[in-house]
A = this chain, B = another copy of it.
Amino acid sequence: MLKQYSFNSLTASDIEQLIARNTDATHAIQDAVSQIIEDVRHRGDQSLRELTLKFDKVDLETLYLGKEDIEALAKTITRDQQRALEIAFQNIHKFHSSQLRRERVVETMPGVECWREVRPIEKVGLYIPGGSAVLPSTLLMLGVPARIAGCKEIVVCSPPQQTGKINGFVAYCLQLLKIEKIYLVGGAQAVAAMAYGSESLPKVDKIFGPGNQFVTKAKSMVQSMTNVSIDMPAGPSEVLVVADHTAQPAFVAADLLAQAEHGPDSQAVLVATSADMIQRVNDELQKQLDVLPRAEIANMALQNSFAVEVNSLQEALDFSNRYAPEHLILETDEWKKLLPSIINAGSVFLGHLTPESAGDYASGTNHTLPTSGYARSYSGVSVDSFVKKITFQHISQEGLTHIGSVVETLAELEGLHAHKNAISIRK
């Protein structure tokens, strides 16, 4: 089932190949996206209407739904479903609320006070994928930290359903977030509209959210073309599961399949301390695949996945850190000991009863995470992603006497005399 390797017999270049992600040369996509961006930039709403007709097959009169529409749609889902979304909302809110704290003032020298204060990014744009897989959970994962940060304007874009509306789950999440408008625009055109603004859509300062290759390419292009920033670069989703002899093969297989069903380009990696465990997981994969509605997609993803046999949990972590997975699941009794060894990962799931799907939806952590090895240098989305930390400083007369000559000396050695004079003139 899963291609199988033994860590001991891998060369350095084998490992390089295993940890490399699929990167496709997407010139065709780049050209198409570039055209869309230019068109939206110059023709605004008119272009958005035409592109929505072309790609989503919906002819829109107004490009958004307002409060009443959202209220009506939110009523179309069951009370149980509402309740589940509410609990997810509460848990995400509770966890993310803990992320921002007031920082103290540091007196670096007598009379020289420095500190940081948090300010929201004023205008943020949230892209919520639509079409076949509508993801209300993504709206909660982006909307909750945006609200906690205090962003003044939260622009939400999502492609319209065939009805010209959105589904009830997304509508209910909008209500939970107290967002009263949603723009019915998807794809690269949504990203372009948020980057440049149109008659209906406000330009934003930062764009968040996952999407298909067109959305991803558009985000990366507007990042380099405008002064709008983006949450992070995005690639296909991935999981790495570490399993030792205490692992339950059925649980491991279920977790690998939960990743694999996302899309044919998803990657599910198993790192196990014995060949026997890999065999047992493979057997379970086959069994569970047989009854899975999205079996075809999952199967394609598994072709693209692999298992590595290692000699110890430490070796498993070594490989994992090199791979830098978006999701890391440690299915071992020994998880506590391993925590300090985890260096590169987006989000980590500990023990036998902590599946990734808990964090995907409802435990409270964010599911917008760095993929494709970006976990080496990026964190997942958090309240931090929706704020700036501004440094402030105040120097008193006393402070100036302490720091003045230091600054003068340093400015002089860098040959910047006006910098020096800004001190001297005040003394």
A contacts, CB < 8 Å to B? 77, 80-81, 84-85, 87-88, 90-91, 94-95, 98-99, 101, 103-104, 106, 108-109, 112, 114, 116-117, 119-122, 133-137, 169, 205-206, 220, 223-224, 227-229, 233, 250-251, 254-255, 257-258, 260-262, 288, 292-294, 298, 335, 339, 342-366, 372-380, 382, 384, 388-397, 399-400, 403, 405-407, 409-411, 413-423, 425-426
Contacts and interface: CB of A to CB of B under 8 A. Distances in A.
Given A227-B373, A418-B258, A418-B298, A103 B99 contact: yes
A48 to B, nearest CB: 22
Given A108-B94, A205-B377, A389-B379, A409 B363 contact: no
Given A343-B122, A344-B122, A377-B206, A419 B353 contact: no
Contacts of A137: 410, 414
Contacts of A205: 376-377
A409 B361 CA distance: 10
22 contacts: A80-B409, A85-B410, A90-B108, A91-B108, A99-B103, A112-B363, A112-B364, A122-B343, A224-B224, A254-B421, A258-B421, A292-B417, A293-B417, A346-B391, A348-B392, A358-B423, A360-B411, A361-B406, A362-B403, A363-B395, A375-B388, A379-B388
A373 B379 CA distance: 24
Q: Chain copies in the assembly? A: 2
Q: 9 closest A-B pairs (Cβ-Cβ)?
A: A108-B364, A84-B409, A355-B422, A91-B108, A357-B419, A257-B418, A365-B391, A261-B418, A350-B394
A422 B391 contact: no
Contacts of A425: 250-251, 254
A336 to B, nearest CB: 9
A39 B188 CA distance: 33
A370 to B, nearest CB: 8
B361 A407 contact: yes
Given A87-B406, A364-B106, A389-B382, A423 B355 contact: yes
Which of A106, A342, A350, A363 has the most chain B CB within a 10 Å cutoff? A363
Contacts of A410: 84-85, 88, 136-137, 361-362
Contacts of A355: 422-423, 426
Contact of A394 (B133, B351, B391, B420): B351
B121 A354 contact: no
Contacts of A343: 119-120, 122
Contacts of A400: 353
Contact of A347 (B84, B109, B206, B390): B390
A229 B223 CA distance: 13
Nearest to A169: B413
Contacts of A353: 395-397, 399-400, 426
B258 A339 contact: no
B417 A294 contact: yes
Given A109-B363, A258-B416, A363-B393, 19 more contacts: A81-B409, A87-B406, A94-B106, A114-B363, A120-B343, A122-B343, A169-B413, A224-B224, A227-B374, A254-B422, A262-B416, A298-B418, A339-B392, A349-B393, A356-B422, A362-B410, A376-B388, A379-B388, A380-B389
A227 B417 contact: no
Contacts of A417: 261, 292-294
